[in-house]
Structure 1
């Protein structure tokens, strides 16, 4: 019973905030999702990442191990999802990227923070950043045929990760007034991302829901199994292991829909994956969290 209460305490705020965004839109209120997303991804999330890395008590060696484990995990997930797409004879340009990239920002970061505190957030931001670099290059190339490595390093999120890693490695700290300012800005990130997730889901026009249900179930099972196996192989410490499994198991990211719409892939099919996998995560993520805690 105590474990169930602990899991509920972790996941309830996540899905309640997303529900607020969903209900907000359904009531007919305005929500400028592009503006809010830009604020989050160029300002609040980079501040959150930088401060989390700078202040974490995780050793640089442990973060290096998590980084390597994450790279190996995404390589294995990519191979598994490519086999799945080929098996189902699906269009690679539409389906492969959504099946690879999870919602490690909107859902993964708050879950790691609420479940495991600042240590969990420190690991989660590293996984989130690696996924971001991968999606900004290979992900865009898969959908459009035109990824750019130089664009990656212009992303504030990536710059914040590299700078935060440098401060962690050197043991540096910003002046107290600066840290307080960055922390305050970073505190906007998680509520903004969760509410925006609910807004985005409310505005989607999903299609092929039965197929999306099958693919979403296979995705969460494969991603969980792969992350579990890689985490054990690298002998990650308990918190790092749990965060890796949670992050990789998150549902299809809303950004996959935005990329599909921008580059002319089947956006409605991707919307179906986003909606169904997000609904499935309401049951799947608490179960995974209960197992890894």
Structure 2
């Protein structure tokens, strides 16, 4: 109960704010999601890669993130073929299971659970997840609409993917951004996480519970909340990571379905009702699973 009150509950209060806002005003989410995807996230990505040092821990974060995602993709594709899902169902299933909500849920959880050092690991991990979502997630979301060509074109249009290399080069060559300009970049980037948290709460308010496919959502929840952290634990055993970094990677892998996938599902009309339903149920179920996991580690 102490972990729930001090770690989980404060995060949920922000979701509730977005939920109540949408219930009262019934706003159009498309322009807000466009703002988050095309403006706020690119600033956050640039700021992180410009300020966070690249070391072996960063290497382990990138490698473990890619491996966890790859295993989940292979398992998800196999499962979708076994269950004979159509293309749209398979894309929505993959969107809901591959990517954890490491940004607007994971960062606050890690901050409350492990403190500043945990956040120092969680921030580049969250950015890595965001990049993978910005490439693989958008490809999957747009693939249901127009095939591989349209998906690739959509990926190439995402500004977030074009700020990484300049940020890394500027850091490595110690190109200094004037203080006031850097503060402006940080100010915009820092708004990304709370706004996406509010958007998630707003989208959850639009979910029609009566129309949920509970069988498919239960399967998503099992993969996202149980299987994913188990895979993360096994993969972490392959690398000489510190106990704290290992715990952060496992906890971040145990997050519910990513809010960004809900944004992409809205943006590209990739079964947004199902994806947002999975986000809702996995988010609610994570109250139990994360509390148990945090007590175990």
**TM-score for the superposition, normalised by structure 1:** 0.82
Equivalent positions of 1:153-164 (< 5 A) are 153-164=156-167
**TM-score for the superposition, normalised by structure 2:** 0.81
Take 2:195 and 2:263, find their aligned partners in 1: how far apart are those partners? Answer: 18
1:10 to 7, 17, 25: 7
**Aligned CA distance change for structure 1 residues 276 and 123 (closer, same or farther; 3 Å):** closer
Give the equivalent residue in structure 2 for 1:97.
95
Equivalent positions of 1:68-217 (< 5 A) are 68-94=63-89, 95-112=93-110, 115=114, 116-141=118-143, 144-146=146-148, 147-205=150-208, 206-217=211-222
Give the equivalent residue in structure 2 for 1:24.
21
Take 2:79 and 2:43, find their aligned partners in 1: how far apart are those partners? Answer: 37
In structure 1, stretches of 5+ residues that fail to align are: none
Residues 180-212 of structure 1 show CA distances to partners (whole Å, capped at 9, x for unaligned) of 111111221121111110100111224212441
In structure 2, stretches of 5+ residues that fail to align are: none
Take 2:35 and 2:56, find their aligned partners in 1: how far apart are those partners? Answer: 32
Take 2:70 and 2:45, find their aligned partners in 1: how far apart are those partners? Answer: 24
Q: Does the aligned pair in 1 maintain the 2:224–2:255 contact within 8 Å?
A: no
Pair 1:63 & 2:58 matched? yes
**Aligned CA distance change for structure 1 residues 108 and 156 (closer, same or farther; 3 Å):** farther
Take 1:270 and 1:104, find their aligned partners in 2: how far apart are those partners? Answer: 16
What is the Cα-based RMSD across aligned positions, in Å? Answer: 2.9
Q: Does the aligned pair in 2 maintain the 1:143–1:263 contact within 8 Å?
A: yes
Take 1:81 and 1:266, find their aligned partners in 2: how far apart are those partners? Answer: 17
Give the equivalent residue in structure 2 for 1:227.
232
Deviation at 1:277, TM superposition (A): 1.5
Take 1:118 and 1:82, find their aligned partners in 2: how far apart are those partners? Answer: 33
**Aligned CA distance change for structure 1 residues 120 and 97 (closer, same or farther; 3 Å):** closer
Take 2:140 and 2:122, find their aligned partners in 1: how far apart are those partners? Answer: 27
1:274 to 254, 257, 279: 279
Take 1:260 and 1:43, find their aligned partners in 2: how far apart are those partners? Answer: 18
Deviation at 1:261, TM superposition (A): 6.7
Deviation at 1:143, TM superposition (A): 6.3
